[in-house]
Amino acid sequence: MGRPLKIQKYSYNTGYSIPPGANTPVDLAYPPFSALTDPAYNLPTQTLNADQFLGVVGGVPATSQVSATYPEVLATVNIALANGTSTGSGTGQIIRQKGAHKYLVAYTAGQTSDGSFIVGQAYQIGVLGSTNWQGAGASTSNAAVGDIFTATNVGGSGSGTAYPVGICVLTNSGSPTAGLMSIGYESGDSSAAYASNLTNKWVRDWAGSPGNYSNSNLGEVKYSGELYYVANFFTDEGGVAQSGLDTATATESVAGAPAGYIPLAVINNVTS
């Protein structure tokens, strides 16, 4: 599947400070062009600036801090819950990539309150509050925001809340059914499309693919007939030169891009 997505997060109590123990941002993004020794901007039309970058990252609010400078991938998820119901289709964000078309995600459209946990369901702590998290299923008494646990009971009457967590696979729909998810993107002012595969660098469409990577067809990434794009968070204009091709004489074109260039796709993202 290529390299999995980076996950934006904080490394808690590890940074330098006086006293020591600052929360340190980790993998917020890829180096912006301004940080590179000899940056090659996107061409033939340069549409990215020195503070922007190529590549995309995941992450969820409990353990990261998004901004216009450092966005995260926005997904629409529908997590199948342990009691046989589902969260319904709603806003979600990626905790980690599990396979070519499969991700561990949090349902961030809403949080579950203490006292309403589903036994056997995984959650990520969003607000500590006064909840007895170890009593609810966390492994230690010093639970922290961002910890993932499986509920052993419905909880108590504390003020803590948590995001439902589950594994979802990609589908070619903006309204995924239970166990599925979608990641939207646009390229070259096209209408909204949905990814069949997303890594830290590439996004692919559904050409030649089944349209729904259910558990029965979670095979290798399909390359036959799929169009691919360079993923970023900022623009769908312009492209990136294909390695090994002389862009002045190349005749190969990908998805209608100028000869020798791979077009950009802007991935749906959150900035706050």
Report the predicted TM-score, pTM, of the whole model to 2 decimal places.
0.88
Short-list 52, 64, 62, CA closest to 5: 64
Tell me if the bond preceding 39 is cis, omega within 30° of 0: no
What angle (nearest 5°) sits at the alpha carbon of residue 272, between those of residues 183 and 163?
Answer: 65
CA distance linking residue 167 with residue 100, whole number of Å: 13
What angle (nearest 5°) sits at the alpha carbon of residue 48, between those of residues 46 and 49?
Answer: 110
Spatial neighbors of 3 by CB under 8 A, at least 6 apart, are 199, 200, 201
**Amino acid of residue 210:** P
Short-list 213, 215, 245, CA closest to 226: 213
Q: CA torsion angle for 216, 219, 223, 227 (degrees, to 10)?
A: 50
Q: Where are the alpha helices (DSSP H) in the chain?
A: 133-136
DSSP 215: G
Q: Residue-wise pLDDT tens for the chain (272 aa)? A: 456 889 998 776 676 666 666 778 888 999 999 999 988 888 777 889 999 999 999 999 888 889 999 999 999 999 999 999 999 999 999 999 998 889 999 999 999 999 999 999 999 999 999 999 999 999 988 899 999 999 999 999 999 999 999 999 999 999 999 999 999 999 876 778 999 989 888 898 887 677 777 766 665 555 556 678 899 999 998 888 776 655 555 444 455 566 677 889 999 999 98
Alpha-carbon separation of residue 69 from 29, 81, 91 (angstroms) = 9, 34, 21
